[in-house]
Structure formats: structure tokens, C-alpha cells
Amino acid sequence: MNKLWMLCAIIYAMMISFGCNDDNEVRISQGAALNEKHIEQAENLDKESYAGLEDVFLDTKTIQGQEGKITLLIFGKNHCTYCDKLKDDIKNNTSLKSILQSHFLPYYINISYTKNHHLQFQNAPESTLSTSTLIETYVKSPMRPTPTLIFLTPTGEVIYELPGYLPSKELSALLKYMQSQKWKGKDKDTISLEINESLRNAFIDL
């Protein structure tokens, strides 16, 4: 059991190390209230962040929950090596693209720009959050590295938070675990242990 916990700790530390910290964040509306021009500019720049993956990522203007699918928030930013690597992995891996398109509602949220996001989750009041408030609400990892992946239920509850970058094979294992719904009815510690076991098996199979 001690060996398993040690392995889990190592995997977690590796994931955080493969990420960019949140220093030098750029906001086009920093220090000023959002106005219509800023919002429109941010929305266009935000979409450019995932150019070539428009068939995978949904418009972040409205973030939704849907029965039978898992909402996935991917927080990234400009000049983030591992964010770009993650997007390249998805572009170049048809299996990753397919599972994201079929079983998830994926959103790539560029925190370098501030925009408003309208949240529509089942059995929950609708709300509108700025990008900075959105990341503060959902990302709890120290230093808030990018990329950070947040998996949500249709009602908007957090299932699991992944800080940092995962290679394609481990990411595929994580997505398949989420798709399987094996996490349902389990506490977060148990979910984390099961995910770490899946990642360990994927790593060993390399």
C-alpha cells in the first residue's frame, strides 16, 4: 500500500512539473470593466487559441452540462509549451479526437484573455463568470499550472482535476476512465487512486 501511495505521489508531482505556471498572465481588460469591444476581441482571440481544433472544442461563451456526457474544461494560456503540446497531441491522434467528440463537451479556455462565460448546468441556476472567476472557481491546484483539465458532471460538480500535461497514451487512459463512468458514486480520493492506477498501467505499457 505504501508503494502505491508513493507511486501516486510521484505521478502527481510529474503532472504538475509538466505545466506552465500562471505568471505574467496577459489580460486585454486588466484593471478595467469588460466592455463590448473587449469581450468581442477576447472571444476572437480565444477561438484562435484552438485553431485547427474547432471540430473538437466548443465555443466557451456558453459552457454546458449534458446528460450522458462529461464537461471538460481545459485551462491554457499563451506561450505555454505544454498547452501547445496538448493541442498538438489531440490534432495528431484520431483516437483522442474521437473520444472527445463523442463522449465529452470539451472547452479550451485561454486565461490570457478575459471574457464572460455563461454557465448552464443541469439542476443548477444559470450564471455568468469572467475567465478569472472561472479559473478561481474550478482550479484548486497550487500555482494553477497550465494546462489544467477539469472534469465536470452534467450538474457542474467537479469529478477530477488534472494539473499539468499528460502524454497521449496516459491522456487516453484518463479519458477512457471518465467515459466508463466508473467514478460514479465514489469519493474523490478513491477516484484519484483509480485514475493513478490507470495512468500507471498506461505508463508501464509504453
- CA 69 to CA 134: how far, in whole Å? 20
CA distances 172 to 117, 123, 175, Å, are 27, 30, 5
What is the side-by-side strand order in the sheet with 116-120?
A: 62-64, 116-120, 127-130
154, 69 in Cβ contact below 8 A?
Answer: yes
- CA 82 to CA 164: how far, in whole Å? 8
pTM, rounded to two decimals: 0.83
Question: How many residues are recorded in the chain?
Answer: 206
SS3 content of the chain, % helix, strand, coil (to 5): 45, 20, 40
The confidence score (pLDDT) of residue 57 equals 97
pLDDT along the chain (206 residues), means of 10: 48 55 46 58 77 95 96 97 97 97 97 93 96 95 93 98 96 97 96 95 77
The confidence score (pLDDT) of residue 70 equals 98
How many angstroms separate the first and last alpha carbons of the chain? 24
146, 22 in Cβ contact below 8 A?
Answer: yes
In the structure grid, which three cell numbers stand for residue 188, read together? Answer: 474523490
198, 173 in Cβ contact below 8 A?
Answer: yes
20, 77 in Cβ contact below 8 A?
Answer: yes
73, 158 in Cβ contact below 8 A?
Answer: no
Q: Where are the domains of the chain?
A: 17-204
The confidence score (pLDDT) of residue 40 equals 67
Topology given in CATH for the domain delimited by 17-204: Glutaredoxin (3.40.30)
- CA 164 to CA 199: how far, in whole Å? 14
